[in-house]
Amino acid sequence: MSDTRIPAAEITGLKGAMFKRIIKRTLGQVPTSLGVYWHNQKVLMAMGGMGGKIQKWDACDEQLKTFAHMAVASFIGCTWCLDFNYFEARNKDLDTDKAREVPRWRVSDVFTPLEREVMAYAEAMSDTPVTVTDEMVESLRGQLGNAAMVELTAIIAFANFTTRPNVALGIESDGFAAACGLKPLAERPEGVAREAVRS
């Protein structure tokens, strides 16, 4: 991992000790990102609190949401979120063979048509300006229903909320997936970039 643009702060005090203990028990190590966000604990707590609430949402299939978040991370270039969600896919007993292929989902043959639509929607929502079409939403609504569609959209929005600051602050992968023995993530193919979203 390269140096972050804001050096990680030392995580101290009772709150810091509690955070480190909980996170080590859950993840096995303290992520570098925690030290960076520790500089503003109100921001850290708000982002973590939202992430915790999202874990309780259950209207949309967990695998679709994970692939959507990973598609955003790959599209934006957040190696931390991509690696962490791959690691989490294993912890949630999702299809890790598919999860590792998310960076090359447009050329991989492992995904269902619905999974492809979800990842295309995630990229279109993440594009600037947003390139979502009526047809995209109508097709996904028909397959998922309104409640799941709203949840999927909010998950993708949250993925943008977490990936973009990580990239801006230079927070990169902490190697969670490698540490638990998962195969390396597939590489995004050359030439498959943002313009592919508009095709």
Nearest of 43, 52, 65 to residue 22 by alpha carbon:
52
- Count of domains forming the chain: 1
Whole-angstrom distance, CA of residue 142 vs CA of residue 97: 27
For residue 115, tell me if it sits in a domain.
yes
With pLDDT > 70 as the criterion, what percentage of the chain qualifies? 94
For residue 35, tell me if it sits in a domain.
no
Is 66:88 a contact under the CB 8 Å cutoff? yes
For residue 25, tell me if it sits in a domain.
no
Per-residue pLDDT reduced to its tens digit, 94-120: 999 999 999 999 999 999 999 999 999
Whole-angstrom distance, CA of residue 67 vs CA of residue 63: 6
For residue 160, tell me if it sits in a domain.
yes
Whole-angstrom distance, CA of residue 75 vs CA of residue 82: 10
For residue 8, tell me if it sits in a domain.
no
pLDDT at 137 over 90: yes
Query: What CATH number is given to the structural domain containing 66?
Result: 1.20.1290.10
pLDDT at 198 over 90: no
Domain that holds residue 147: 59-198
For residue 103, tell me if it sits in a domain.
yes
Per-residue pLDDT reduced to its tens digit, 34-50: 999 999 999 999 999 99
The two structure tokens encoding residue 169: 């602050």
Kindly indicate the confidence band of residue 197, based on its pLDDT and cuts at 50, 70 and 90. very low
For residue 24, tell me if it sits in a domain.
no
Whole-angstrom distance, CA of residue 106 vs CA of residue 102: 8
pLDDT at 71 over 60: yes
Q: Which pTM value belongs to this model?
A: 0.93
For residue 104, tell me if it sits in a domain.
yes
Cα-Cα end-to-end distance for the chain = 34
Angle of helix 146-168 versus helix 62-76 axis, rounded to 10: 30
Angle, vertex CA 178, rays to CA 56 and CA 173, nearest 5:
70
Is 122:68 a contact under the CB 8 Å cutoff? yes
Whole-angstrom distance, CA of residue 193 vs CA of residue 188: 8
Kindly indicate the confidence band of residue 2, based on its pLDDT and cuts at 50, 70 and 90. low
Whole-angstrom distance, CA of residue 196 vs CA of residue 18: 44
Mean pLDDT confidence for 70-83: 97
For the chain, the maximum distance between any two Cα atoms, rounded to a whole number of angstroms, is 52
